[in-house]
Structure 1
Amino acid sequence: MVTTTTVGWIGLGAMGGPMAQCVAQAGFPVSAYDVSVERARSLAGGGLSAAGSVQEAVTGAKVVVLMVATPDQVESVLFRSDGAAAQLQAGAIVVVMATVGPGPIEGWARRLGDIGVGLVDAPVSGGVARAAKGDLLVMVSGSAEALAVTQPIIDAMASTAPVVGPRPGDGQKVKVVNQLLCGVHIAAAGEALALADSMGLDVESTWQVLKSGAASSFMFGDRGERMVTGAFDDVRSALDIFVKDMGIVTAAAKSVEQPTPLASAAEQLYLTGRRKGLGRKDDSIVFEVLRHP
């Protein structure tokens, strides 16, 4: 159903691009900006227009979606001198879909609230292929008023979008738990297949046998396939993302004095990969990090 709700969109990366297209295809006019102007132009069409700046993207928008990578990028997009916050009218709503941790979200919600702007916390999980199909999991939190406006937009990107709490930050907390599991599962898959290799087994055959058994997981099936085929340059999720995300996980755990020994070990593995210069490779490269420590 066509709607008059206008959407400003910031961030058109591997996931942000197809997510924005799903929103436009659902009938929402989307004005989108990315630091790569050519990337924005290449995605234009079908209700999505390319903006030349953050300010242009958000001017007149009722809802602004941020799908950037880091807390620093969100801070810059919102609050630098030419940022989005100065352009937003009272009653607008910012939807933060990046994984940034609960602390930053809570701070931005207070600052935006001071100018009459709402914030919906809506981190995503699912990967590039599911983003293109509008099949993501989105962990949503915020006020009932803000959710009433933004839920149809979120639903255009998601097959599952549960409201996990009434406060911005609740969604990030659930995503922290999600990323702990994802990060540990990828590390465990790499460790298991590296062990198979060191014992002289055929790694692909071992993966084929185990992926349908009780020891399997989504990450063992998905990342394991990339590990055995060596598809580390087909970057669907960069190792650098898990350096960031596992740092968020361990910081959140420390803030509540919760031991997370497995997450901490996985974090060290991702840091080792970055130090080896592999941060821009697919995160399945942890297999090679463990094979050649």
Structure 2
Amino acid sequence: MTAPLKVALFGLGSMGYGMAQSILRAGHSAYGFDVNADAVARFRAEGGSDGTLTDIAADLDAVVVVVLNAAQAETVLFGTDGIVPHLKPGAVVICCPTVQPEFARQMEARCNATDVQYLDAPISGGAAKAAQGQLSIMAAGTPQAFDAARPVLDACAATVFELGDVAGPGSAMKAVNQLLAGVHIAAMAEAVTFGMTQGVDPETFLKVIPQCAGTSWMLENRAPHIAAGDYTPHSAVDIWPKDLGIVLDIARCAKFGAPIAAAALQQYLAASGMGHGREDDAAVAKVYARNAGLTLPEKKA
């Protein structure tokens, strides 16, 4: 049995909080950090360890970064109060945000320069699977990084895809996944609202389409939010201008045309511009509804 690790997790949002719970449940000492003090207090009340970064940094075995973007990840690792310079040799950084592959390679080089391991480890599966320790992790890094990260990966993931022995391939695969996921959510919203123009209400849509060839995981996960009129954010609209923006930046560098991803991005930008950016990403349906003069279901009292 692996000895318990001391793990600090940065980012207690819907995904990070579930991962922190899974790490704690696996028997490790887990420290949670977030700009949201309520999330930190809640995690500590559930058994998370108490301690300042100054006090714990030198004893940490692993750092898990589950923030929003590359800029935030770099701040956590190498900013004014960055954690990496204070880690012991052999500690591992497990970096989970959607970022460009080149950013992952840069972070790996900077970590390795201080004898800290780095694992390029984007995640997929949603908040529920994060809380269950059932994520899919698209990982790339040296064998040493995988060895150091293994107990944390085992705590958080049902499946770990080992995609290469240097950073970059994990983030590349995540970009492929996000292209599909973002397009599928927008396509789901288009299909639901198109059906409404033909008298197919969202409840009926959900009875039929998941049993047919046109279904997708995103459709089955997000369409119920529209049918229920509940846009409590599990994954917010504003995630997609970032993630599909990364996809299109990578595509542009590769001289690759991605017109379907670009069209989906415009719908998320429109939804955000309408004021729905912090709602669940199923709220992209509101763009279609507005344009077609449709009334979407309202949340039941």
Q: Structure 2 matches for 1:212-223, cutoff 5 A?
A: 212-223=211-222
Q: Give the 3 Å change call, closer, same or farther, for CA 206–30 of structure 1 in structure 2.
A: closer
Find the residue that maps to 2:3 and give its secondary structure.
Answer: coil
In the alignment, which residue of structure 1 is the partner of 2:280? Answer: 282
Q: Map Cα deviations across residues 10-63 of structure 1 (whole Å, 9 max, x no partner).
A: 1111111121111111111112211122311211256521444x4445331121
Q: Map Cα deviations across residues 171-201 of structure 1 (whole Å, 9 max, x no partner).
A: 0111101111100100100001111112333
Counterpart CA distance in 2 for 1:199 and 1:106 is 50
Q: Give the 3 Å change call, closer, same or farther, for CA 185–98 of structure 1 in structure 2.
A: same
| Residue type at the aligned position of 1:9 | L
In the alignment, which residue of structure 2 is the partner of 1:152? Answer: 151
Contact 1:16 1:67 in 2 (8 A): yes
Listed as ranges, the gaps of 5+ residues in structure 1 are none
Contact 2:202 2:226 in 1 (8 A): no
| Residue type at the aligned position of 2:274 | K
**Alignment length (residue pairs):** 291
Instruction: Give the deviation of 1:89 after TM superposition.
Output: 2.3
In the alignment, which residue of structure 1 is the partner of 2:180? Answer: 181
Listed as ranges, the gaps of 5+ residues in structure 2 are 292-301
Instruction: Give the deviation of 1:141 after TM superposition.
Output: 0.8
In the alignment, which residue of structure 1 is the partner of 2:299? Answer: none
Counterpart CA distance in 2 for 1:17 and 1:111 is 27
In the alignment, which residue of structure 1 is the partner of 2:294? Answer: none
Q: Structure 2 matches for 1:1-293, cutoff 5 A?
A: 1=1, 3-44=3-44, 48-52=48-52, 54-56=53-55, 58-232=57-231, 234-293=232-291
Find the residue that maps to 1:156 and give its secondary structure.
Answer: helix
Counterpart CA distance in 2 for 1:76 and 1:281 is 26
Counterpart CA distance in 2 for 1:56 and 1:15 is 26
Find the residue that maps to 1:139 and give its secondary structure.
Answer: strand
Contact 1:28 1:47 in 2 (8 A): no
Contact 1:63 1:95 in 2 (8 A): yes
Give the CA RMSD over aligned residues: 1.6
Instruction: Give the deviation of 1:168 after TM superposition.
Output: 0.9
Counterpart CA distance in 2 for 1:203 and 1:90 is 55
Counterpart CA distance in 1 for 2:229 and 2:46 is 36
Q: Give the 3 Å change call, closer, same or farther, for CA 57–224 of structure 1 in structure 2.
A: farther
| Residue type at the aligned position of 2:235 | S
TM-score, with normalisation over the residues of structure 2?
0.92
Contact 1:9 1:57 in 2 (8 A): no
Find the residue that maps to 1:161 and give its secondary structure.
Answer: strand
Instruction: Give the deviation of 1:66 after TM superposition.
Output: 0.6
Contact 1:65 1:95 in 2 (8 A): yes
| Residue type at the aligned position of 2:113 | D
Find the residue that maps to 1:162 and give its secondary structure.
Answer: strand
Q: Give the 3 Å change call, closer, same or farther, for CA 112–273 of structure 1 in structure 2.
A: same
TM-score, with normalisation over the residues of structure 1?
0.94
Q: After alignment, is 122-131 or 108-117 more displaced?
A: 108-117
Instruction: Give the deviation of 1:207 after TM superposition.
Output: 2.9
| Residue type at the aligned position of 1:214 | A
Counterpart CA distance in 1 for 2:287 and 2:56 is 41
Q: Give the 3 Å change call, closer, same or farther, for CA 101–55 of structure 1 in structure 2.
A: farther
Instruction: Give the deviation of 1:271 after TM superposition.
Output: 1.0
Instruction: Give the deviation of 1:284 after TM superposition.
Output: 0.2
